[in-house]
Amino acid sequence: MMAWTQKLPDFPSADQIFCLNSFEGKLYAGTGNQGDLLEWDNVSATWAEVASGAGFSITSVNDLIQYNGKLYGCGGGKLLEWNGSNAWVSKASGASGVLKTLCVYGGSIFASGSAGILYEWAGSGNWVQRAPLFDTLQYVRDIIVFNNKIYGSTSRAPGLGGKLLEWNGTNAWVEVADTFNSGVIGVFAMVELGGELYGCTGDTIIVQYPAILKWNGTDAWVEVARIPDFTYGVQDLFAMEIVDNKIYAAGQGSDLWRLDGGSLTHLFNETGTGNLIENCLHIHATDFSLYGATGFNSILYDSGIKGTPPPSLDYNESFNQGDIWLHLVNGISTIEILNNDLRRDPTLETAILISLFTDARAADIDSLPDNSGEKNGWWADDENDPIGSKLWLLFRSSTTEDIPARAEQRARESLQWLLDDGVAASLEVTAERTAMETLSLSIVIQEPEQTGETVFKYEFNWKLQAISEGR
């Protein structure tokens, strides 16, 4: 029988946990009370305080995010960086209201919260406003990067919250979905699955019960599944997480639900206390277990639900094999520490990223896009053994109609070594413009003595000059 199992007890100085995240193989929690950072190393049976929020004029750490190899949290109007040992360091301030949610986009950290304003931090200085409050009734509860854009979900009074906002990329929020019905207080969390954007709601039970919604991609939320009745005492769904392509949601009463097609399956709850799981469902990046943390104290629970590690993350069998694992996280090429060493990649992902997105030196006959005279190149790009591509020449030029064909040619050139060296038995490259400013690149590879094919997809946005994983 599945059930929440207490993994760690309450931490004395933390009255609640507001967020969980994995960092360098360990699980971290941001707390209420004074905004502490707690660490669990998967061996100890207790939380350890590794940073105190005292002195920063914050009452909680509401979200945690990885950025440029460091762990960041938001609290009050501040952005805090963990020093890796025992303290928070204030990196940005000046945001209005209470920041509740963070995301990484285009090489910067973005944040929003109770004031409904979207802020950007580009690695130095204070917050810079990128979108003002949409209207006087909207509190941004979650922001997410979807299809190379930032989206925010809102909450407010019944029938007024739960809008979906899209940042226009410059200076404003644009409404792309109104509140779902008169009972919706807000869309409290969002996830992406299979190229679709999902949100979970809080509702007034007088009208309807909480639901999982899906954005139709243009102008409205569409109901996917709804909690059937008030048997379980659930009024709000606050958190969502994905395990093996299944959406799990939790909220008041610590009930855990799974989305199965067009219905929500009730799995279990944390009996006896009715504790609230708020923004605290998380798949631990090391053991792939689904954890939940409570909003009325700082207890950590294990759901007993365990995800399947992707082949490239199977550190028990292939940790010491292959290249150093280089992968894209929110558009940033990232390495990861596992078991006190660099994680390795037994797949071709790292080799393909380096081949496509490091700059091969331009030849004398190549046309440079900006008349700078700079031919680029990098230290590993040897004239007799070139590594890299000339895609950069296209990415810095205009988005003309022949760009997809030219991108295919440049990508094939950079990946030809896979065939020459016998790393791949076959290689197929296709490129297409999926939007006015976006090029989609698909790489299909069959390795020798393998029956299946591996597909790698990437997208480049001209306006943002940003690369991300494609769909």
Neighbours of 39 (CB within 10 A): 17
Range 5-306 has CATH code 1.20.210.10: no
**Is the distance from CB of 166 to CB of 210 less than 8 angstroms?**
no
Q: What are phi and psi of 284, to 5 degrees?
A: -65, 125
- What's the average model confidence in pLDDT over 363-370? 77
- 319-331 tens-digit pLDDT: 345 677 776 766 6
pLDDT band, very low/low/confident/very high, at 316 (cuts 50, 70, 90): very low
pTM: 0.70
Beta bridge partners of 80: 73, 90
Q: What is the per-residue pLDDT across 50-86, written as a single tens digit (0 to 9) for each?
A: 999 888 888 899 999 998 889 999 999 999 999 999 9
Q: Grade residue 90 by pLDDT with cuts at 50, 70 and 90.
A: very high
- Single out the residue of 407, 366, 415 nearest to residue 386, CA to CA: 415
Q: Identify which of 51, 445, 17 has the alpha carbon closest to the alpha carbon of residue 238.
A: 17
Residue 385 clears pLDDT 90, i.e. is over it: no
- Please state the domain extents for the chain: 5-306, 348-469
Which pLDDT band, with edges at 50, 70 and 90, does 215 fall under?
very high
Same fold, 5-306 and 348-469: no
Q: Can you give the pLDDT at residue 208?
A: 63
Query: pLDDT tens digit string along 108-165?
Result: 899 999 999 999 999 899 999 999 998 876 799 999 988 878 999 998 866 578 899 9
Angstrom distance (rounded) from CA 267 to CA 255: 7
* pLDDT tens, position by position, 271-303: 444 455 665 777 775 678 899 887 777 888 888
What CATH fold (topology level) applies to the domain 348-469?
Nuclear Transport Factor 2; Chain: A, (3.10.450)
- Asked if residues 334 and 315 have their Cβ atoms less than 8 Å apart, the reply is no
pLDDT number for residue 331: 62
Nearest to 352 by CA among 373, 318, 325, 379: 325
The region of weakest confidence among 105-114, 190-199, 278-287, 352-361 is: 278-287
